[in-house]
Amino acid sequence: MPRQHTSRAGRARTSLPHALSALIIGATLLAPSGIAAASGPAQPGGSPVNHQPGDPGTTTFDVFSDIQGHLDDWDAVLTDAERAAPGSAATVINGDIVDRGYAEEYDAVRAVMDDHDRDQPLLATFGNHEAYAPAWCDQQTLCQPTWPNGFTPEDLYGTFSDFAGRDRVYGEVVVDGVPLIGIGPDQLMWWEDPNLDDHVHIGPEQLAWFRDRVEHHGRTGKPFFVFAHYPLSDTVTQSDGDAGRYHLMEEEIREILGDHPQAVLFSSHTHADISRDWWATRVRVPGGHPDGFTAVDTGAVLNHQYIQVTTGPEGAVVRARDARSGSVINELTVERADRGRGRTTLTLETAVEAVQPGETVDVTASVAHIGNGTLGGATVELTLPDGWKTEEGTTRSVGPVTAGEREKLSWTLRASKTSGNARVGVLARDRAGRELARTTLDVEVATAPNGETRVSDLPFLTETNTHGPVERDRTNGGPAPADRGAITIGGKTYEHGIGMLAPASATVYTGGRCSLLTAEVGLDDDIPQGSQRRPLPGDDLGDVVFVVEADGREAYRSDVVRQGDRAVPVVADIDGADTVRFIAEDADGTSSWDYADWGHATLTCTG
């Protein structure tokens, strides 16, 4: 049986206790920003930054989140913040300011702030709880079956805007020259897509604004601070599970921040204990600065935890505090970045997991410039493995590339007819012929399966899916990989198979060695309704047509299969086909609740 294909491995994290060694290794590339743990013995290469609240030439601001109606906790946390830093210059509330989004809830939060004379600049971000009122008839009566109970997105954005003091969900506050940048959902996906939940949509206008602000503040080398309620996946505590699956534009956010080692991204939502190791991590981005940026969990007011930041000429100190004990429970430093001489980075990628022997695959090189100045011009040279070809020429010119830009170059390559891994190389040179950067990409040339083979063990030559990847051995969920559970159809759970959200498809290589495909297909028993528990649309709970193609020839087509139907057995003749394509068609023209499962999908092959 072929090896199990696991190309979508989770992102690696670097926790603070281990971060220093990673940064010291990278120090020969560019002067890194420093990170130091709050407790334990001094570590080599520790940062000299030790700003305290009230030190001359420094600015302190407070970061809170997840109040959610816990007004007594809010009062206690503000009391501790005033004692720790009576001269705090700004207040940040990073989402879940209120429990549901009613105007009177915001008024109550503001009243506690007024009791503490919190009239300094405020940056507020939009969390998931800011939009939960539509599931309620009033503050005491839960009315999920009649969602949205008269509410509109404009109502929820309106009450938030009245509190935040701005007319957009994103914005910036600059205090004593210290930039505080807030981003958030500019569409509420509960209204936009029945298959999505609290997912964070950041549209082109907001992304362009965010990129501009980051590039503007990044030029100084001073730490700058970004706030988003939901964490990026596999960064801070608990973001490796459900909490880290909600950003629809996660890759764009990572790319924008990845060039700036002095950037600090604060996220919330998890209610995690920020005295733990993973409260802050380094996040490295392919093609970005080798030291990445810093991600920090803010804790939660309802747990009496919050963040104080003191920033000055040499950098910033981020302190996690516990209001119950009145003490610092974790600490890190972020040094001012030495922009120094700019450098070029290079990445090479492909959108597919494998290529059919002798067929074509597209690869894309991305050239970026990090630091000061501009890459005036360069050549990018592609190196092909033995037996590989391209008709487009292997050398291209790029430039100019300014800081923060990425110039992309694509090639269509024809793979050799030999199965196995092949390595494609790429090299960038300046106009004088000096090497700027190089990297490689391993591409799998697919191998024909032998014997009884699970489809989920094979790499996909192509795949399309309405949300996220086509899943292996689990049903499909939202945009994140592996964000739903086991395949279950008609009360039966399947050990293996593939999961889709129609319309969707996936193609595997069979190399003429397989004769039969068997599976049991149907719509998954689990219909995700998300946090709002929106009512299902009458009897329309999803309807899909399952199709199998062998070398483009239709080998199987089901009738319309609906949610709640028993699994339909599939037996498809694929004898001699080089490729088999699995297709889930949306029968009614929409993807609503079309969670299409191929349970126990198995190929019968020779060998």
Same domain for 82 and 228, yes or no, is yes
Q: Look at residue 419 and tell me if it is in a domain.
A: yes
Same domain for 518 and 597, yes or no, is yes
CATH number, domain with residue 539: 2.60.120.1060
Same domain for 172 and 291, yes or no, is yes
355 contacts 344 by C-beta, under 8 angstroms: no
CATH number, domain with residue 330: 3.60.21.10
How confident is the model at residue 34, as a pLDDT?
Answer: 32
Q: Look at residue 24 and tell me if it is in a domain.
A: no
How confident is the model at residue 371, as a pLDDT?
Answer: 81
Same domain for 218 and 361, yes or no, is no
Same domain for 321 and 375, yes or no, is no
For 457, which DSSP code? G
Rounded CA separation 325/71 (Å): 19
How confident is the model at residue 75, as a pLDDT?
Answer: 98
Domain end position, chosen among 335, 370, 386: 335
Q: Look at residue 170 and tell me if it is in a domain.
A: yes
Q: Look at residue 33 and tell me if it is in a domain.
A: no
Burial of 281 from C-beta contacts in 10 A (0-12 / 13-18 / 19+): buried
Q: Look at residue 202 and tell me if it is in a domain.
A: yes
How confident is the model at residue 428, as a pLDDT?
Answer: 96
Q: Look at residue 25 and tell me if it is in a domain.
A: no
Same domain for 441 and 471, yes or no, is no
Stretches in the chain below the pLDDT threshold 70: 1-47, 339-340, 529-540
Same domain for 426 and 462, yes or no, is no
Same domain for 441 and 458, yes or no, is no
Give the count of alpha carbons within 13 A of 479, CB side only: 19
How confident is the model at residue 44, as a pLDDT?
Answer: 28
Q: Rounded to two decimals, what is the model's pTM?
A: 0.88
514 closest CA partner among 454, 448, 570:
448
Same domain for 323 and 184, yes or no, is yes
Q: Look at residue 28 and tell me if it is in a domain.
A: no
Would you state the structure tokens that stand for residue 583, as one six-digit string? 């297709």
Same domain for 270 and 411, yes or no, is no
Same domain for 248 and 388, yes or no, is no
How confident is the model at residue 532, as a pLDDT?
Answer: 67
Domain end position, chosen among 335, 354, 379: 335
Q: Domain residues for 381?
A: 343-445
Structural domain count of the chain: 3
Contacts 24+ apart (CB under 8 A), 555-558: 555/517, 555/580, 556/517, 558/521
Q: Residues for the chain: how many in total?
A: 607
284 contacts 16 by C-beta, under 8 angstroms: no
How confident is the model at residue 552, as a pLDDT?
Answer: 97
Phi first, then psi: what are they for 183, rounded to 5°?
-125, 160
Contacts 24+ apart (CB under 8 A), 147-153: 147/532, 147/533, 147/534, 147/535, 148/190, 148/191, 153/187, 153/188, 153/191
Q: Look at residue 413 and tell me if it is in a domain.
A: yes
33 closest CA partner among 20, 42, 43:
20
Same domain for 206 and 293, yes or no, is yes
Domain end position, chosen among 269, 302, 335: 335
Please state whether the peptide bond connecting residue 148 to the residue before it is cis, i.e. omega within 30 degrees of 0.
yes
